[in-house]
């Protein structure tokens, strides 16, 4: 009897996920620079940010510079995770895959959240729900990238 399943990631899959993590970290840096250079001056002095669709009654107020500062923290940590993934993937370390997956999920989610919250703040009508949808969409893009890394590198095996 044969079945098709996903095994542990092969070294090729780990390298692919690490490279995807590097690409998503680079995308996050570009999005952060776009926010700081273009969007931040257009935002109101104070606006509501949203990270959860369930807690709409608890408002989190932010300033454009505060969101930029938090963004730089995310970008630096995401870039460090992506660099670690790439470096560890060369030595075959198990931590490479974990760092790569973390960066692949968090960095596109960060980009969605950053740009979604900025758009909602500028539009006023988009509301916080748009920011949550953008966050979820970004994280989903990262998840799909990991899934496609498995399928593109031939991870499917039959027993």
Cβ contact 22:68 at 8 Å: no
- pLDDT at residue 65 greater than cutoff 80: yes
Rounded CA separation 104/86 (Å): 12
How close are the terminal C-alpha atoms of the chain, in Å?
8
Rounded CA separation 141/109 (Å): 8
Q: pTM for the full model?
A: 0.82
121 — pLDDT class (breaks 50, 70, 90): confident
Question: What is the residue-averaged pLDDT of the chain?
Answer: 83
Cβ contact 22:142 at 8 Å: no
């Amino acid at each position: 009897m044969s079945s098709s399943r996903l095994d542990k990631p092969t070294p090729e899959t780990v390298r692919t996920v690490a490279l995807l993590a590097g690409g998503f970290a680079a995308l996050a840096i570009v999005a952060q620079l776009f926010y700081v250079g273009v969007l931040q001056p257009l935002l109101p002095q104070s606006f509501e940010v949203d990270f959860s669709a369930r807690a709409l009654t608890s408002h989190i107020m932010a300033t454009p510079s505060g969101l930029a500062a938090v963004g730089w923290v995310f970008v630096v940590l995401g870039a460090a995770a992506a660099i670690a993934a790439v470096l560890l993937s060369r030595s075959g370390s198990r931590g490479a895959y974990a760092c790569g997956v973390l960066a692949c999920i968090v960095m596109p989610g960060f980009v969605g959240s950053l740009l979604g919250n900025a758009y909602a703040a500028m539009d006023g009508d988009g509301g916080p729900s748009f920011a949550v949808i953008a966050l979820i969409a970004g994280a989903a893009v990262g998840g799909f990238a990991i899934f496609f890394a498995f399928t593109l590198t031939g991870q499917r095996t039959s027993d």
